[in-house]
Chains A and B, each alone.
Chain A
């Protein structure tokens, strides 16, 4: 165990100490004075370079969120910048007479340019997301490649956008009487926007919506069962990334004062992905490191390579491409990930352990629970066929509140098929499943999470690098309601405290109270299984479906699990578990349902099942 971190109570806290700040807050504090003086001391050329880096970092930040956190890839970031930059440039250079009457006021207005740029970017992102994000992970990158190319040709062919020569003569940015006509002035604007975006992203990740986005990498089946709308979570990440690109495009147009198709080509989209990967795609600050690193390295290579190779061309791409391959093979976390790891090693504890003091918060409201003895789950003649194979034939049983039912059977008996149908991952070919009197077959796992049906997984599904507490808080997703904007602006703190407090309470309830801030992946398998139960409990369920909860547990862990389940039963929870471990089942459950070859062979209290000849034959091969 890691002393001093987990057992810290408010009483032990030293009274005179440095304020507890996250690593990001320290980085911000260190960065601010540097940024404040940079334009005053650096030559204009360097300031211009820093402006470009800031704009690139903003677009890359979107990719860090999209690729590093949500596990999706887009090559469309440059194209999104292009849409916004062109919208800005067009409105800045068009004369009022050329626009239709009601829109004439937009001509020359930077804020109208920003608004139109963002609206267009988000609209296109919504369409692209809507058609690709429901499909497997390959369609988004392919879709963005195709659209990035289309857009490039479109920019080059539209007369009113200046064709291949582009739009020039964009006036200097003037906002509320402040002229941003010099690189130094733009520097403050660009970096202020970038830092705000970084802070907003950090806030977003540390929230209910952020957990939903981070949970995408742990498999959608898990997060959907916890009530997370994974399509929506993906769309959120994609739109936020597009929004940052849109902002970057607006800044780009006013920094360059000229737009043409070339900087928004697919090649540029690939460059942004490279920046994110080199910087470290899992870390928000990786965007800044990547943008700066790639920009500097590119300049250096563009000077060096033509000397080396004796001719000019886009040869730095070879170096970057090889670097990416090497990174993917050796150092998938990029530079920022490497730095973060090095720091963790030095401190001998994960960064996430910066103990977040959890103030006790008002408990979340609970759903009305069924009375003890009330039927919670009912299967009526459930049959599931796969082609000619009947995996479940005519299965019928009930589970009541305050009761534990075990479904047992040898391998291949059809237990997993049954479990999938009960948890609405799969649906019966015929028959019906009722949950609290309502038919649920055909409904989605996500809908059932909201109705009070919660589950664990046979193969543990959790986010190994996320803290135990946050993993469990995913279970409480549907008990909160704050969205992206509230999270980014930190308006969700009261609700967030209640969600985390609920997660903590459930972890204490299952006996993992001392592991709140440990990385979930560092727990033993048995503890991970218990964590899944805590996560399920966080949803405030009235029915728990547990898929082999005792598998891989040691004796004492099994005892603790049994105690926990007994306690839950006494509180009125209905529990169905699928299990292999006879000793575990027999001492614990109220009734046993035995399956073989997809059919029921026996049902009843454990004592009678243990002497049932059909069960003995199924398990022991019978008597010759």
Chain B
């Protein structure tokens, strides 16, 4: 192994690590605000990548139909809840607008010639599809049981993941896909040739992390989310609706997931079920951060990226084994530094 290979592997590791770090952050965000372990996070990534690929390949974009189905379910559930509460069917504006948006976007993605649209517009359309998908997922699957035991939330998460993987196969088929890189060429730094996609990934990740930081530090909604994460009941008492906090965190997670998918699609071939393994590495990062610390989780995720990239070189078929076994020492350390019994809640 010479320096050149080290640099090459390191660059690979940074690219993947940056994606895992983004996912780790959004997993942590959703977990602290809602106590939900967002197992379906990976599906946002895969769906975004495959939707991009479908646009570029000129095949039908079917994601809108899923959004449409979930929006319809959300509207039905909302009306049903209103009926059970007041004895009459009252339709609120939100779900109707959601459904109209889904219908409009589905029509657009079906009719417009998106293959010629250019990467930027394609990415925008992809995010416009996936962010509301996150909202709708929260509304339909999690909101009715938002107060349930964390174990129930986890089980529902797994079930939603399983459903989405199945739907993914239905929408995108079993073939993998890769998209065109955002730009050609690269940047020569000394003896290292930086791949242009690496630069994109790192730049967008940094921008996103900065954006999240500003959102949580400066904006009222960000502060409300942080308050909900620290103390749900307290936040509710001062008027932060848990419903809003849940939806906002899911929308952010979907945004981060879809961006990750768009970024990673030119580097790796993505299949309908690839998202899970990718997001699981984000989970490993989140576990390293003790499901609590953002910076440690991000660093942990970067470490996972490096470990993965270097194990590809030394023992490529054991890559996943090595990466997932990495959590063992972390868990040992956490167990040893942990005292006393604790109740979940």
Contact = CB atoms under 8 A, between A and B. Distances in A.
Interface stretch (A128-136, A256-264, A535-543, A581-589): A128-136
B158 interface: yes
Contact of B324 (A134, A139, A141, A149): A149
Contact of B335 (A131, A157, A317, A328): A131
A383 interface: no
A157 B317 CA distance: 7
Contacts of A132: 331, 335
Contact of B342 (A220, A314, A318, A324): A220
Contacts, number: 136
Contact of B340 (A72, A318, A320, A444): A444
B155 interface: yes
Contact of B320 (A141, A150, A273, A329): A150
Interface in B128-156: 141, 144-145, 148-152, 154-156
A224 B340 CA distance: 9
Interface stretch (B15-23, B44-52, B219-227, B283-291): B283-291
Interface in B16-65: 37
Interface residues of A, number: 51
Q: Name the residue among A142, A145, A147, A157 with the largest chain B CB count within 10 angstroms.
A: A142
Nearest to B344: A137
A71 interface: yes
Q: Name the residue among A71, A130, A145 with the largest chain B CB count within 10 angstroms.
A: A145
Interface in A313-331: 313-315, 317-318, 320-322, 324-325, 328-329
> Main SS of the interface on chain A?
helix
Contacts of B155: 73, 273, 277, 324, 328
B277 A328 contact: no
A143 B325 contact: no
B145 A320 contact: no
- Range of interface residues on B (Cβ < 8 Å): 35 or more
B141 A325 contact: yes
Interface stretch (B82-90, B160-168, B202-210): B160-168
A494 interface: no
Interface in B268-287: 277, 280, 283-284, 287
Contact of B162 (A67, A317, A444): A317
Given A136-B342, A153-B321, A317-B162, A67 B151 contact: yes
Interface in B76-121: none
Interface string A243-274: 00000000000000000000000000010011
B152 A135 contact: no
A154 B320 CA distance: 9
A230 interface: yes
B187 interface: no
A321 B162 contact: yes
A146 B335 CA distance: 17
B343 A318 contact: no
Contacts of B340: 444
A149 B280 contact: yes
B190 to A, nearest CB: 36
Contacts of B328: 127, 131
Interface string A331-359: 01000000000000000000000000000
Contacts of B148: 328
A12 to B, nearest CB: 42
A605 interface: no
A317 B166 CA distance: 6
A273 B158 contact: yes
A439 interface: no
Nearest to B330: A131
A71 B141 CA distance: 21
Interface of A: 67, 71-73, 75, 127, 130-132, 134-139, 141-143, 145-147, 149-150, 153-154, 157, 219-221, 224, 230-231, 270, 273-274, 277, 309, 313-315, 317-318, 320-322, 324-325, 328-329, 332, 444
24 contacts: A67-B151, A71-B149, A132-B335, A141-B37, A145-B280, A146-B324, A150-B320, A153-B320, A154-B321, A270-B158, A313-B169, A314-B166, A315-B166, A315-B170, A317-B162, A317-B166, A318-B166, A318-B170, A321-B161, A325-B159, A325-B160, A325-B163, A332-B152, A444-B340
Given A146-B327, A328-B155, A444-B340, 9 more contacts: A71-B151, A131-B334, A135-B338, A139-B287, A146-B280, A315-B169, A318-B167, A321-B162, A328-B148
